[in-house]
């Protein structure tokens, strides 16, 4: 074989090898491209499922929060009404004491000789109070007693509101 023919044969074999390698490369590219596309599709499906689950969880949490806010608002309204009613009752009682429409009295222990008070043990025939001897309280003292009981009522109403809030939040 002549050197020119050898070079031509060698160039042909080299061209054939390059064509075969290029074809193989192209087939591998198609195959891997298809696998990568399938993996990307599966990955996208997983991401969509995760996103949907997160959105559903967020909606459920928002619904729970809304329900809790509604329960707390209703509880707050109830306790506000109870506090307002207690304040109105206290103001009404204070007004009745101020106008002498109502008098507070205390039951006396007639057997207590240390008190030094000579109050008869039985009520008079003209009285409408049944039971033991009673002493009328000074209106100023009665007002202070009503104020103290009013503060106690406010405290109990606030305590009930706090307890209802804690019960509502803890569920």
The C-alpha atoms of residue 84 and residue 89 are separated, in whole angstroms, by 9
pLDDT value of position 125 = 47
* pLDDT, tens digit, 9 for 90 and up, residues 83-118: 899 889 888 988 888 887 777 777 777 666 555 555
Is 15 buried (19+), middle (13-18) or exposed (0-12) by CB count in 10 A? exposed
- Please list the residues that pair with 134 across neighbouring strands: 107
For every residue of 72-91, DSSP letters joined together read: HHHHHHHHHHHHHHHHHHHH
Q: In the predicted model, what is the mean pLDDT of residues 26-32?
A: 84
pLDDT value of position 18 = 85
Six token digits for residue 68: 């809790």
How many Å is the Cα radius of gyration of the chain? Answer: 47
Taking 80 as the threshold, does the pLDDT of residue 152 lie above it? yes
Taking 50 as the threshold, does the pLDDT of residue 148 lie above it? yes
Six token digits for residue 80: 């506000």
Q: In the predicted model, what is the mean pLDDT of residues 18-35?
A: 86
Mean pLDDT of the chain: 83
Residue among 78, 88, 104 at smallest CA distance from 150? 88
Residue 142 binned pLDDT confidence (cut-offs 50, 70, 90): confident
Taking 80 as the threshold, does the pLDDT of residue 160 lie above it? yes
pLDDT value of position 128 = 54
pLDDT value of position 93 = 86
pLDDT value of position 113 = 59
Residue 14 binned pLDDT confidence (cut-offs 50, 70, 90): confident
Share of the chain above pLDDT 70, in %: 86
pLDDT value of position 100 = 77
pLDDT value of position 157 = 87
């Amino acid at each position: 074989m002549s050197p020119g023919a050898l070079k031509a044969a060698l160039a042909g074999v080299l061209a054939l090898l390059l064509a075969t390698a290029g074809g193989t490369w192209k087939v591998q590219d198609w195959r891997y491209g298809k696998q990568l596309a399938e993996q990307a599709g599966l990955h996208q499906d997983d991401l969509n499922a995760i996103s949907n689950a997160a959105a559903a969880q967020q909606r459920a949490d928002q619904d729970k929060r809304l329900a809790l806010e509604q329960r707390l608002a209703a509880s707050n309204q109830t306790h506000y009404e109870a506090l307002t009613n207690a304040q109105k009752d206290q103001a009404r009682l204070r007004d009745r004491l101020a106008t002498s429409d109502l008098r507070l009295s205390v039951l006396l222990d007639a057997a207590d000789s240390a008190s030094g008070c000579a109050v008869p043990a039985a009520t008079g025939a003209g009285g409408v109070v049944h039971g033991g001897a009673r002493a009328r309280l000074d209106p100023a003292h009665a007002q202070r007693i009503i104020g103290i009981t009013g503060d106690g009522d406010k405290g109990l109403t606030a305590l009930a509101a706090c307890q209802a809030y804690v019960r509502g939040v803890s569920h």
